[in-house]
A and B are shown apart, each in its own frame.
Chain A
Amino acid sequence: MSTPSALTLEETILAVYCALDDALACAKVECREGKLIPRPGPPPDMDDREVLCVALLQELLGYESDHAFFLWLQNNSALRTAFPNLLSRQKFAERRALLTPLLERLCQAFCVLGGEGLPPFPSSTPIPSTSAASSGRENRSVSAAWPPPAIALP
């Protein structure tokens, strides 16, 4: 397996935000005054899209606990710059819970964006296997090999 190209934290944030934007467009969800779900009250300091992006980053970066993630986040300059109006941990958890109905729609939007549509699938639909290469399992210590070699070996 060839070593996958490295992603910096800034690139990861950008990639997640763009992917989320694609999914929202696919699900035909519009953001009005920073709110993805209509509700009373003034526009929030932190946009709902930013809340979703931070929630996704927590899962993608592999943080099991909200507390550990927020400790890391508060000491990370890249994330503090990207999300200057970051909420407190408790308010973030509340907002994430508020956005739950939207998460299911976005999940299905990613299925559509993946080019395979939505269920129902007939029984005869082929199921491709997951190889070690596609799951990155051949190189478990992938972070140890960072950054990738600048010269491609023959």
Chain B
Amino acid sequence: MYFHGVREHLIFTPNGRLAFIQQVPGNRHDVQGLYALLKTSFQGALLGDCAYQPNPTQEAQLRSHGIRMHAAQKSNARQPRPAYLRQWLHDRRSKVERRIALFDDQFCAQRTLNRSLRHFLARRWTKALAHNCSRYINAARHLPLESVAHFHAAA
């Protein structure tokens, strides 16, 4: 049996649907997940923690690609942002973090049992699809939007 560590980056839409997942090897820095988006068609504004702060060269490339990264600053930043900007980012990011935690909790997303990379990718995308599908069914049936307890109970 082998253990392969993978770092997965989740991109949620403002209303909590999973728009994109991106996997990089587990021994790579978080910001590499952001740079990997340059090879995709993804565009838009992203919120993230201080590990997602791109270097100036890559930031220019990201902007020309249509990706704007709003990352929290490191504690030793040379030019700290104003307090209201830090608060703005913190308030918005905490809601996204909660959605990531919910996805982990509800779909056993912390580890996946598979025999090869192909099967791993299939299983991860199925989890993402099940997440979005559950929200769609909940909305249609007027159930609590972010809950999967009724599905578990059905089993």
Interface set of A (CB-CB < 8 Å, partner B): 1, 4-9, 11-12, 15-16, 19-20, 22-23, 55-56, 58-62, 64-66, 72, 93, 96-97, 99-100, 103-104, 106-108, 110-111, 113-116, 118-123, 125-130, 133-137, 139-140, 142-143, 146
Contacts and interface: CB of A to CB of B under 8 A. Distances in A.
Interface in B86-141: 92, 95-96, 98-99, 102, 107-108, 111-113, 115, 118-119, 121-123, 125-130, 132-137, 139-141
B45 interface: yes
A96 B123 contact: yes
A4 B144 contact: yes
Given A56-B126, A111-B19, 10 more contacts: A15-B137, A60-B133, A60-B148, A61-B155, A96-B119, A107-B129, A116-B17, A120-B44, A128-B14, A129-B95
Nearest to B132: A110
Contacts of A120: 43-45, 66
Contacts of B122: 93, 96-97, 99-100, 103
Given A62-B152, A64-B113, A119-B11, A110 B135 contact: yes
Interface of B: 11, 13-20, 42-45, 66, 68, 70, 92, 95-96, 98-99, 102, 107-108, 111-113, 115, 118-119, 121-123, 125-130, 132-137, 139-141, 143-155
